[in-house]
Amino acid sequence: MRASRSSSSCAGRRQARKGESTLKAEQIDVAPLPVGESGIQSSSGLGGWNFFINASSQKQDEAFQLIEFLAAEEAQRTRALEGSFLPTLKNLYEDQEILWVFKMSLVTQAELQQTPPTILPQTTNLDAYSRIFGDPRFQKGVVNSVVIAGFTTLICLSFGSFAAYALARINFFLKGPVLTLTLAIAFFPAVAIIGPLFRQFSSMGLINTYWAAIIPDVLFALPLTIYLLVAYFRELPVDLEQAAKVDGATTMQAFWKVTVPLSVPGVVTTGLLTFIFAWNEFLFANTFLTTTLTQPATVVIPNFATFFTQDYAAQAAAAIVVTLPLIVLVMIFQRRIVSGLTAGAVK
């Protein structure tokens, strides 16, 4: 019976592909399986229903095909529901820390120190946001973060695109080890080089300047930039560049006029990830920048809650303000991020 059903199912699939049969449930002997009845039961449950095919049915092929069609439709509907509703609940559960920090930024100081803490805010106000936006330290810190993250992203994309293009298109000796060594730099412990860098920057007069934070950020962000762009450049067809060279373009002209415009999704993804890394960097900025004139927002935020003053509401509000631009950027460029990260995964 199993062999007969398997051969019948295969024949039904072939017949469906040829378009020789039209499936109508009323013309096929298919019904819900009652208790105590015998038949060939399908393996698919449709909305809680199990179907069987009468052994005497002359249209078993069409019946099996109908059941498979209904099962696929039900599975597609289930995936659509999960894709629209369940991830939303999952994200809310995973982002409960952000929601809790947001709640901290809205409540009063007395409610914030209440024991046990309240789940929902009893009273809300925007005093914490007024304090941070009126604080010149935080205002300057946001500007410094934009400058440091912006220059880090610009430098990484400028040098990383050339290096990635060379590693993706040029075949040379030790190409694989060079790419591996480049990526390994990103995993080097940052704490191990803070002392030597501090002495070097002190002798060069770079302490309390933007370059004291930009240089280490570029050092750790550039390998990731190169690695992501190499994967994307490898996906682009070489024939387009060769066609440009046949028309008289040089290698640099083919790179700027053909490769770069086609690699916009990968460049946007890499630039956004680099910007987020530099925006969130704390260790080097806290070590090399000791004045509020150059400190980024990540270093200024802890100063709202020190040993002498404990303004946790202002600290939470500042954290929300600093995180909000990153959330907006990710939401705007979500599709480009996904397409850029998956570039080179399928050949």
Q: Tell me what the mean pLDDT of segment 258-274 comes to.
A: 85
The Cα 139–Cα 176 span in angstroms is 45
Q: What is the pLDDT of residues 77-100, one digit of tens each?
A: 655 544 444 445 455 555 677 787
- In angstroms, the first-to-last Cα distance of the chain is 42
What six digits make up the tokens of 27? 């013309």
What six digits make up the tokens of 179? 């790419």
- What domains does the chain contain, in order, with CATH numbers? 2-84 (no CATH), 130-341 (1.10.3720.10)
What six digits make up the tokens of 173? 């000796």
Q: What is the pLDDT of residues 23-78, one digit of tens each?
A: 444 444 444 444 444 444 444 444 444 444 454 445 556 666 666 666 666 666 65
Q: Distances from the Cα of 42 to the Cαs of 9, 52, 63, 72, in angstroms?
A: 11, 6, 10, 13
Q: What is the pLDDT of residues 297-341, one digit of tens each?
A: 999 888 877 666 677 888 888 888 888 888 888 777 777 666 655
pLDDT averaged over the chain? 75
Model confidence, pTM: 0.67
Query: Cβ neighbours of residue 180 under 8 Å, at least 6 residues apart?
Result: none
